[in-house]
A = this chain, B = another copy of it.
Amino acid sequence: MADKIIPDIVVGRLPIYLRALQRLLQEGRQVTSSQELGERLGISAAQIRKDLSQFGEFGKQGTGYSIEALAQQVRSILKVDKVWEVVVVGAGDIGSALGRYPGLNNRGFRVVMIFDNAPEKIGTHIDHFVVQDTAGMVEAIREAGVKIAMMAVPAGAAQEVADRLIESGVKAILNYAPISINVPSDVRVQYIDPVTHLQRMTYYL
């Protein structure tokens, strides 16, 4: 199972399934079905069964899935059955929100450092973090061995900051700057830009 390549589009749906499973657990539920998950997610039950069958057998025909067991499996596949340390670059509105966001912690991630290059921000507090100078970023990240960064910097600074993150050993960047960045093939990038989502909807209005 560990060696089987799962299509990227399926990998992209697994976090959505996991989120729904964790929600069901919060509601005190123990068993679910592909039908129920499908209704909650707006995805067909057949699609969900097909996706989950990519990496093994879950549940028994007719009795549904054990939510806890399925969640544990998906966590294991996504490698979030451990806690990943994450750095935040940029201590503006978004970076500060990420530093304070409680929703990371029970889903596999923990912010460990926040950086900015603005003198008026360096040394200030965000939650329990002291904002650190980006001048020392490469060394600090390398020393801590952190592999994941959330980047909330202006568009004009994004490529340079990304280059330095990669120099630090970072292999996954969640980019909030509204610009595409170039990275080597062994580094993953995901984008969060509210405007691209809004524009994708206005087409249909």
Contact = CB atoms under 8 A, between A and B. Distances in A.
Interface of A: 6, 11-12, 14-16, 18-20, 23, 39-42, 77-80, 84, 86, 93-94, 96-98, 100-101, 103-104, 107-109, 147-148, 150, 155, 171-172, 174, 178-180, 182, 188, 190-205
A14 B198 contact: no
Given A23-B155, A93-B101, A201 B188 contact: yes
B84 A198 contact: yes
How many copies of the chain does the oligomer comprise?
A: 2
Nearest to A173: B201
A91 to B, nearest CB: 12
A14 B199 contact: yes
A147 B23 CA distance: 29
Contact of A15 (B18, B182, B196, B204): B196
